[in-house]
Amino acid sequence: MAQYANAVISKARAMYGQMLSPAQYDDLLRKQNVQEISAYLREKTPYRAALEGVQDSTIHRRQLENLLHRDLFYQYVRLAKYVREKDSIYQYIVMDLEIELILSSLRNIISDEQEDFVASLPTFMQPYASFNILGLAGARSLDEVIEAVAGTVYEPVLRRCQKQHPPEGNTLRYTRYELALRTCYFSTLLERAKRETRGRASAELRELITMRAELMNLNTIYRMKTYFQADAHRIRVTMLPFYSRLRPRQLEEMVSARDTQAFLKLLSATPYGRRIDPETGFFEGETDGVRYRATRRLLRFSTSPEVVYMAFMLLRSMETEDIVRIIEGVRYGLPPEKIEKLLYKA
C-alpha cells in the first residue's frame, strides 16, 4: 500500500476517534440554550479549537452553526494534504458544498432573501471552490446564477433545466433543478470511484454513494405520501436514478403504493425492512441510522484509503448535523428524548 494510503487511513481513523462520545451527546441534549451548547463544545470537546475566542454569552444560533460547518470543512483540508489528486473522489466534500450553495441561491431568488444568504456564505472554502462564491451571492436571477458558475460542471446542468423548465420571473420549478444537480453530483462521484478504484474498494465506494441516494429516495416517498398525499407521477419525477440494495422494480412499486401504509408494507419486504422501524414515529431518523451504521462499518473495516476517507467525512458531517439538530431542538424547547430521536446516532 502506498505511503499516502497508510497516512489517510491512519489519520481518518484517529480523527474519528476524536468525535463526540455517547456521554457527550447526553450532556449536549440537556443544555438549555445555544450559549450553554457553545460553552460545552468549547470547554469539553475537540471543538475547542473551532470555537476558540468565541464569547459564549453573545453567540447566536447561526453564528455557531456556521462555525461548526467551517470546522467540518477544515477536517477535509487536514486530510487533503495527504493526497495530490485533483478532481478525485477526495474532493467530493467540495462538490457537496458547492451544490448546496447553488440550491441555496435558487431558493433565495424564489423567496427574495438575499441578505440571509450572504450572511451564511462559507467564504472559507473559496480557495477550493470551482467558482467565485461571492459572485454567486450577487445573483438575482437564474441567468446570473448560471453566469456565476460558468465553466464548471454545473453550467450545462442548469442550462438544460432552464431550457426544459424555463422560469417565469423569479418562479422556477425548484425540485427539477435540485434533482438535476444531485443527479450530477452522484453520477460524478460514481464515475470517479470507478476510475480511481478497483475490486472491493470500488464496490465499497459505490455502496457509500448509492445508499445515500437510495435512502434519500425512500425519505422522499414517505414524506410525499404522508404529508402531501402525492400520486405516483408527482413522486416519480423527484426520484434519483440510483440503486443500492433495492431493485428498480421494488422502488417503482413503492412509488406507486396507494398510501403510506402500503409503502411501508412493501418496504418491510426489502433488505431495509429489518433495519427500519416505522413505529418510532420518525421515519427519516430510521433511515439516518441505517446509513450511519453502514458507513461506520466501512470506516472500521475497509482497507481502502478512498473508502475510509469518504466514510469518515460522511460520519463527521452527520455529527455536525446532529449538533445542529440539537441546537434547533433546544431553540424550540423540545425535550431531550424527542431531540435524541432526530439524531443519526440515536
Could you read off the pLDDT tens digit of each residue along the chain, which spans 346 residues?
567 788 999 999 999 999 999 999 999 999 999 999 999 999 999 999 999 888 888 898 889 999 999 999 999 988 888 876 666 888 899 999 999 999 999 998 888 766 566 566 788 899 999 999 988 888 889 999 999 999 999 999 999 999 999 888 778 899 999 999 999 999 999 999 999 999 999 999 999 999 999 999 999 999 999 999 999 999 999 999 999 999 999 999 999 999 999 999 999 999 999 888 877 778 998 999 999 999 999 999 999 999 999 999 999 999 999 999 999 999 999 999 999 988 987 5
Predicted pLDDT at 131: 94
Q: Which residues lie below 8 Å from residue 169, measured CB to CB, with a gap of 6+? A: none
CA distance 5 to 306: 8
Closest CA to 243 of 182, 306, 179, 186: 186
Q: Which stretch of DSSP H or E encloses residue 22?
A: helix 22-29
SS3 state at 237? coil
Residue type, 280: T
Predicted pLDDT at 31: 95
Region class of 21: left (phi > 0), else alpha (psi between -120 and 50), else beta:
beta
Contact 190, 89 (CB under 8 A): no
Contact 71, 47 (CB under 8 A): yes
Q: Which residues lie below 8 Å from residue 284, measured CB to CB, with a gap of 6+? A: 219, 222, 223
C-alpha cell at 103: 440550491
CA distance 135 to 154: 15
In eight-state DSSP terms, residue 342 is T
